A and B are shown apart, each in its own frame.
Chain A
Amino acid sequence: MLSYIIRRTLYVIPVVFGVALITFLLFNVVGWNAASQMLGKRATPEEIAALEKQLGLSGPLPEQFLHYLKQIVTFDFGRSFATQQKISTLILDGVLPSLSLAVPIFLIDLVVAIVVALLAAYYRNTWVDRAIVVGAVMGMSVSTLVYILAGQYLLAYEWELFPIWGFESVKFLVLPVVIGFISGLGSGVRFYRTVVLDEMYQDYVRTAFAKGHTERSVLFKHVLKNAMIPILTSVVLSIPFLYTGNLLLENFFGIPGLGYLSVEAIFSTDYPVIKAVVFVGSVMYVFASLLTDICYALVDPRIKLR
């Protein structure tokens, strides 16, 4: 067990190195002319050279890579091109607003999706289940953009139920949370329904029924417990995506989180910011998946055999 955990933890090193390598290849090798793109056509060669130096794009590639690794280790990604603020500060400042939007959406979605999925499992092979599936897929087939536009227009503008834009009090979060919840519900229901139904056909469920348990007690006492493993995985693995997850919602509702930061950076081709957010997001994912695997090993002793 311990050796598995140690091995799994050490595997983080090559993966984080890989993430650094890929982002480096993307931004420094493929995007080698970022400086002239950012400055526009009228820039002088001197200006371009100065910006390249500032972005760590000057000198031979190995040297650039070392510079990038140094940035990563010291968590100092330089300054934003558009605002000249320190990128590390921008990222840290954005975490709280992002989480205050993403965490409620995530939790509400999780609970509602699991309840609906259990409902679908309870009514499996009837029209209720089929309606839930088709409804979920229909919900997934509408672009998030449309949910946002329609919600913002109808609920905030026409009916004036919510403020349209800003981040001043909890009131400002209600509408984006509702929209985020609705736009994510379809895929959640579909996923958890498959998880729950996969459990329904396991041997232990048949045994439980044979022992005379009612449908309800099997579903909630047996199936739900066993379905917790895939559910937990998906929960832990979504945590890092909470941080970059709501690009559009933050942009439309003016919530100054990391999504807002990223969209602004994209609009102003602010490469250093995009690079840093992509890297930090990936590293958070790497650690979350490490956490999942360790939890697995603790819960499920069969993992050790691998």
Chain B
Amino acid sequence: MSDAPATTLWQTAWRQLRRNRLALACLLIIVLYALIALYAEGAYRFYKFRDQPPPYKVVNFEHRFAGPSVRHPLGTDSLGRDVVLQVVQGTRIAFTVGILTSAIAIPIAVVLGALAGYFGRRTDDFIVWLYTVFDSMPGLLFILAVAIVVGKGLVGVCLGIGLTTWVGLCRLIRGEYIKHRERQYVLAARALGVSNLAIIFRHILPNVLHLVIISFSLRFPGAVLTEVVLSYLGVGVQGEPSWGIMISDAKLRLWQGHWYELGGATAAMFFIVLAFNLFGDALRDALDPKLRTVEAKTA
């Protein structure tokens, strides 16, 4: 036994992440976007509470299709609304979708995966059958189907994405529980008479939690991109500016040479999706040594 102070998985991971400048830059971008989303949520609630039309919805026909200026850094759209303010509100929708879909998908994945892996037998057969069935559903089309059956709007979108994207994580968690259920700490807990539920959620869960965090950061960009497509197809958010709606609106103006709206929404989306993807990769390398493919193995 060495005398070196023990470091937890999280400490080791943080130390590795801190050395990765690209990952830190991505984290910074994510935090920045999160602050913008918080601000936008605040603005949205403030104007709703005051029962005033929010500035991003103020129509001004005299200033439609204005180019970039000091007052409107990215110009205005076909109704004279400021593009920057709409991009900011789009950030709010993107974060809402990213967080809510995870709040739906991750609990389903964790609970089902844990039960299947821990109990095995019939429970496992049933849950494996269930996720095989969900896995067979044709991605985007099934999301669209759920969203329109539940009702167009934010709730439909989140339910659609959430209910269809839990399978991958569920599989991973099930595999981990199958490994952990024979480990000595679990056998010891069982011998001490700890209940199954306590073993599943208090003893084993902390050991697989890193998978949840990796899954969150890698599913977020997917949810943002899907929301855009859904909004474009008209099943997304209704009556509020979102990146998808901006792109969909811009589709008609592009032929008239107005591309600021498209550019603004695309750029906003590009950086957050890129940051989450790169950060998610770095996080996976830091948190899950088994999945660490390249850098570590050459050492």
Contact = CB atoms under 8 A, between A and B. Distances in A.
A157 B130 CA distance: 47
A51 B150 CA distance: 20
Contacts of B192: none
Interface stretch (A56-64, A68-76, A99-107, A137-145): A137-145
A289 B142 contact: no
A241 B232 contact: no
Interface stretch (B10-18, B101-109, B168-176, B248-256): B248-256
A278 B225 contact: no
Interface in B226-244: 228-229, 232-235, 244
A177 interface: no
Contact of A278 (B138, B273, B277): B138
A21 B144 CA distance: 18
A137 B217 CA distance: 14
B270 interface: yes
A137 B270 contact: no
Contact of A244 (B129, B140, B233, B254): B140
B269 A141 contact: yes
> Size class of A's contact patch?
35 or more
Interface in B126-146: 129-130, 132-142, 144-146
Contacts of A141: 221, 269-271, 273-274, 277
B134 A266 contact: no
A282 B136 contact: yes
B247 interface: yes
Given A143-B247, A194-B293, A267-B234, A247 B145 contact: no
A278 B137 contact: yes
A204 interface: no
Contact of A146 (B134, B221, B247, B277): B247
Interface size class on chain B is 35 or more
B136 A19 contact: yes
Contacts of B132: 15, 18
A71 B254 CA distance: 44
B254 A149 contact: yes
B294 A125 contact: yes
B1 interface: no
Contact of A138 (B139, B150, B266, B274): B274
Interface centre among B144, B221, B295 (most CB of A within 10 A): B144
B149 interface: yes
A145 B142 contact: no
A10 interface: no
Nearest to A263: B233
Interface in A112-144: 124-125, 134, 137-138, 140-144
B286 interface: no
A69 B60 CA distance: 55
Interface in A262-289: 262-263, 266-267, 269, 271, 274-275, 277-278, 281-283, 285-286, 289
B297 interface: yes
Interface in B250-299: 250-251, 254-255, 262, 266, 269-271, 273-274, 277-278, 281, 293-295, 297-298
Contacts of B269: 141-143
Nearest to A137: B277
A282 B133 CA distance: 8
A274 B145 CA distance: 7
Nearest to B295: A125
Contacts of B38: none
A15 B141 contact: no
A239 to B, nearest CB: 12
B136 A143 contact: no
Contact of B129 (A14, A124, A125, A278): A14
A153 interface: yes
Nearest to A25: B149
Contact of B262 (A18, A22, A146): A146
B273 A15 contact: no
Contact of A269 (B137, B148, B294): B148
A267 B234 CA distance: 7
Contact of A153 (B255, B294, B297): B255
A30 B150 contact: yes
Nearest to B247: A145
A134 B278 contact: yes
29 contacts: A14-B129, A15-B133, A15-B136, A21-B133, A22-B137, A124-B294, A125-B298, A138-B270, A141-B221, A141-B270, A141-B274, A142-B269, A142-B270, A144-B229, A145-B244, A146-B247, A149-B250, A149-B262, A153-B254, A197-B293, A197-B294, A244-B139, A247-B233, A266-B144, A266-B148, A275-B145, A277-B138, A283-B136, A286-B136
Given A19-B133, A26-B146, A285-B137, 19 more contacts: A14-B129, A21-B133, A22-B133, A125-B298, A134-B278, A137-B277, A142-B266, A142-B270, A144-B229, A149-B247, A197-B294, A201-B293, A241-B138, A243-B138, A266-B144, A277-B138, A278-B138, A282-B136, A283-B136
Interface of A: 14-15, 18-19, 21-22, 26-27, 30-31, 34, 124-125, 134, 137-138, 140-146, 149, 153, 157, 194, 197-198, 201, 240-241, 243-244, 247-248, 262-263, 266-267, 269, 271, 274-275, 277-278, 281-283, 285-286, 289
